[in-house]
Amino acid sequence: MQATKRVKAPGKQRKRLYNAPAHLRHKMMAAPLSPELIKSKGAKALPIRKGDTVRIMRGDHVGFEGKVSRVDLKRYRIFLEGLTREKVDGTNIFVSVHPSKVMIRNLKLDDKWRKGIVERKKEVELPKKKKKVAKAADETAEKTGKMEKEKAVKKERGVQEKTVNKSPKPAEKEKKPKKTKKPQAKHKAKIKTKRGT
């Protein structure tokens, strides 16, 4: 498969966003999980699905919590039960929310495929944390070992330097006195006499 370069041009990024296939659109509909879910599930973010309970974290409806009633992959928006507004003619319509502005509070896990995804993410996330802790412990152990070695080497060098320092020092060179510059007052006087002032 041919490797693709990262696109930096804003126009091309928008084009890719609007022309994205369904499997990529689904990934773009991901939202962060609540801290409780992160601890229990191990994943930090998951794509939103119909039936999930979410809380709005940004915008005019901050703090509103409700179930996802519809996911619009074409417009990259979700609709929540109970989040409506009244039109001028009196009809109520659902307010759309972008998934990046919400936090998932409760997952709907009745789908075996989604359960598998969560389990797979849990396996990937948790070992990373353990590896980080193990690396940190190894690094501190290495640092302390290196420091002890350096101290021992310094002590040995200190003993050697003391023996070297006991030898007589060579006589210091005599310093020559610095030449002082002559004052320029005489020179200025000569200039004044030449001009006739």
Exposed e or buried b per residue across 58-95, where buried means at least 16 C-beta atoms within 10 angstroms of its C-beta:
eeebeebebebeebeeeebbbbbeebeeeeeeeeeebb
- % of the chain with per-residue pLDDT over 70: 72
For the residues 121-142, what does the mean pLDDT come to? 70
pLDDT tens track for 25-54: 999 999 999 999 999 988 999 999 999 999
Instruction: Identify the CA nearest to 81 among candidates 93, 95, 96, 68.
Output: 68
State residue 1's pLDDT score: 66
Side chain identity, residue 123 = E
CATH code, residues 10-110: 2.30.30.30
Residue 96 has pLDDT above 90, yes or no: yes
- Using an 8 Å Cβ cutoff, are 98 and 28 in contact? no
pLDDT tens-digit series, residues 50-82: 999 999 999 999 999 999 999 999 999 999 999
The pLDDT assigned to 123 comes to 82
Average pLDDT along the chain = 83
Domain-by-domain residue ranges, the chain? Answer: 10-110
What's the rounded mean pLDDT across residues 69-96? 96
146: tokens are 């290196």
Q: What is the mean pLDDT of residues 80-101?
A: 96
Poorest-pLDDT segment among 11-15, 16-20, 124-128: 124-128
State the pLDDT at residue 185: 58
Q: What is the pLDDT of residues 141-157, one digit of tens each?
A: 677 777 777 777 777 77
User: What would the pLDDT profile of 110-121 be if each residue is shown by its tens digit?
Assistant: 999 999 999 998
Tokens encoding 108: 């709907």
pTM: 0.60
Question: What is the rounded distance in angstroms from the CA atom of residue 138 to the CA atom of residue 144?
Answer: 10
